[in-house]
Amino acid sequence: MLNTIVPVVAAVALMAGTAGVAAAVDALDPGTPIFDLRLGLGSMANPSSITETITAGNGLKTKYDWQGGADHGKHITLGLTEGTLYRWGGLVYGGHLSYDQTDITPGAYEVNGLGYRPRGPSLQYHAGGFDIDGGYAWVSSREPRDLAAYFEIMPFIGGGMAFADTVNQDGNGNFVKTTTQGFFYDYGVRGGAYLTERHFIVGIDVYYTAGEGRTQAKDVAGTDKLKIDFDGFGGGIEAGWRF
């Protein structure tokens, strides 16, 4: 994961350094400030691995390795981006609230090394959190009345709360629903291409996301721990208002 994201972060840092030199040379350009409020709807990165460990009250452990059946889930964001743009572009930064949801119906899973292809077990994962980001942006025209192309690339990092609902079979063959809660963290890089005119901004963004979510529930019957790893690409649309 780090082998993928480190070169991208280095490239953004290089662009930032170049931007700083250009700013010093073009000191007569006062720049144009921007402040965006955007709503995004897209798909989250597909889980790369899902492991659930159930420890009964007597200490007996059952491990589920969920396999297949996970589609790209919903990814909803509400974010702010601000900065100052010059003829060469500019540095921008901001943050966004996010909500993710994915429904997982396994094609198969392993229990203590034995494979099964049952009907009935399912998993639903929810996560809500906050990411901060910062990077480089460029716009074809800084005149608000013009129809302009706007591009940005921004590494991000964040985290928040995670929840999971799982349905498994107990020792008597009955399906039992368990709700667990915990935390998640993520990091990655996102890039966007937009059109702006007057105060409107609309476009598409793509992102590479890595990270993990961990949830847990504990009662007199035992402990249920779930670990979900993410490592992949997602994308969506964004629209908003440029103040």
Q: Cα–Cα distance between 223 and 145 in angstroms, integer?
A: 59
Residue boundaries of the structural domains of the chain: 2-242
Q: Answer with the residue of higher pLDDT: 33 or 30.
A: 33
At 200-219, the pLDDT tens digits run: 999 999 999 999 999 988 76
129, containing H or E segment: strand 122-139
Q: Answer with the residue of higher pLDDT: 229 or 68.
A: 229
Tokens of 26: 């073009």
Tokens of 152: 């940005």
At 108-157, the pLDDT tens digits run: 555 566 665 555 567 788 999 999 999 999 999 999 889 999 999 999 99
The reported pTM is: 0.76
Q: Answer with the residue of higher pLDDT: 53 or 185.
A: 185
pLDDT for res 25: 47
pLDDT for res 106: 61
Helices (H), the chain: 2-25
DSSP 105: -
The band of 55, judged by pLDDT with boundaries at 50, 70 and 90, is confident
Strands 148-169 and 32-43: unpaired
The band of 6, judged by pLDDT with boundaries at 50, 70 and 90, is low
Nearest alpha carbon to residue 237 among 199, 174, 195: 195
- Mean residue pLDDT across the chain: 82
Lowest mean pLDDT of 45-49, 86-90, 183-187, name the range: 45-49
Q: Cα–Cα distance between 34 and 93 in angstroms, integer?
A: 11
pLDDT for res 230: 87
Residue 15, number of CB atoms within 10 A of its CB: 16
